[in-house]
Amino acid sequence: MDFQGIREDDAWALVGAAARAARRAGRTLLDGPGTMAAARAKAGTHAHDVVTEADAAAEALIRAELTGACPGSVVVGEEGGAGEAGDGPGRDVRWYVDPIDGTHNFSRGLPLFCVSIGVTVRGEPVGGCVYEPARDETYTAAGGRLLRGGRPVPPAPARAVPMVLTDLPRAGAVPDPGELALFTELLAAADVRRIGSAALALAYVATGRADMAVTPDAYAWDCAAGRVLVTASGGTFAAVPAEPSVRRPGAFAAWRPGLDGLGASVVAALEGFPFLQGWLEDDNSLA
């Protein structure tokens, strides 16, 4: 692969490696011991932000697959952090991995969870894969093309009332007045639902199952794949601050064509949230 000037076929080769790793990890989740997994709250977080032994096992499997497929590349995982860059040809490649996005759902036997792997080259997002084990469905994108199950996604029909998937207000915190105001605005304009998986929400927006996703507390691994899916579908992805971080959570909104007015209003509201203020400029980096 030529990573000095990333070609579309090289980007798809990376996405193919991500898809193989995601499917293998996802299938191990379904083959695990029953539908209920023991979960514990992550240190320093709220009770809704949980982790299971399956998260760590799936991430370890994915790390081995990706670094084997692309020697020298770096895996940045939700559970294990960032590995060390090697001397191989993939030293400019970074993978952003959420081994189970929607862990709380997974731990309760609910099928709304996924494996999310986004890939960047020298800090630029070039591809993404979201695998939904319960549906055995793979969403991939690179080079401005979106595929579901290896096939192009047909255009979604226009709907009179858009569906918005959101995690507003934030779990485990007293709602900020700005959150409640934005939530009220969305309720007035759309059919609003909460599914508990940011990456899956982005995949659903990209494929037309939903029309907008709004998440107030996401890290880079939550949206590194889904943002590529959305933009490949012709939609818009906007993060607040400007780039998702691996250090502290930020917010994002993503929407399908035709919803630019509502999207701009949502982004303006997110920019006013006090818990997103005070970011250091060097903290706003996906790389």
Residues tagged in the binding site annotation for Mg(2+): 78, 98, 100-101, 222
Q: Is the peptide bond before 241 cis (omega within 30 degrees of 0)?
A: yes
Cα 250 to Cα 177: distance, rounded to the nearest angstrom? 17
The two tokens of residue 257 are 């064509």
Cα 244 to Cα 287: distance, rounded to the nearest angstrom? 9
Cα 71 to Cα 56: distance, rounded to the nearest angstrom? 21
Candidates 107, 96, 115, 112; CA nearest to 24 is: 115
Candidates 218, 182, 213; CA nearest to 200 is: 213
Which are the contacts of 173, defined by CB distance < 8 A and separation ≥ 6?
A: 46
CA dihedral 286, 150, 232, 259 (to 10 degrees): -110
Cα 89 to Cα 93: distance, rounded to the nearest angstrom? 9
Task: Give the CA angle between residues 59, 16, 142 to the nearest 5°.
Answer: 110
Residue numbers in the known binding site are 78, 98, 100-101, 222
Cα 34 to Cα 94: distance, rounded to the nearest angstrom? 33
Torsion sign over Cα 70, 74, 80, 84? positive
